[in-house]
Structure 1
Amino acid sequence: MTTQRMNFTTAAPAVFKAMITLDAAARKGLDHTLIELVQIRASQINRCTYCLDMHTTDARKAGEREERIYQLSAWEESELYTDKERAALALTEAVTVLTDGFVPDHVYERAARHFDEPELAQLIALILTINAWNRIAVTTRKTPGTE
Structure 2
Amino acid sequence: MTVRTNLLDREVGQAMSALSAAAKRGLGDSVLAELVMIRASQLNHCAFCLDMHLALAREGGESEQRLGLLDAWEEAEDLYTERERAALALTEAVTVLAGGTSRTTSGGGFVPDAVYERAAAHFTDGELAHLVGLIAVINGWNRLMVSRRIPPGGYTP
TM-score, normalization by structure 1: 0.94
1:118 aligns with 2:118: no
Q: What's 1:131 paired with?
A: 139
Q: How is 1:92-107 mapped onto 2 (pairs within 5 angstroms)?
A: 92-98=91-97, 99=100, 100-107=108-115
Distance 1:93 1:19, change over 3 A: same
Q: 1-side partners of 2:63 and 2:81: how far apart?
A: 14
Matched residues, number: 144
Gaps of 5+ in 2: 101-107
How many angstroms does 1:29 deviate by? 3.0
Q: What's 1:20 paired with?
A: 17
Q: 2-side partners of 1:17 and 1:55: how far apart?
A: 18
Query: What's the C-alpha RMSD, in Å, of the aligned pairs?
Result: 1.2
Runs of at least 4 residues off by over 4 Å: none
Q: Deviations over 1:55-97 (max 9, x none)?
A: 0000001000000000000000002000000000000000000
Gaps of 5+ in 1: none
Q: How is 1:62-73 mapped onto 2 (pairs within 5 angstroms)?
A: 62-73=60-71
Q: What's 2:80 paired with?
A: 81
Identity of aligned residues (%): 59
Q: 1:141 is matched by which residue type in structure 2?
A: R
Q: What's 2:3 paired with?
A: 4
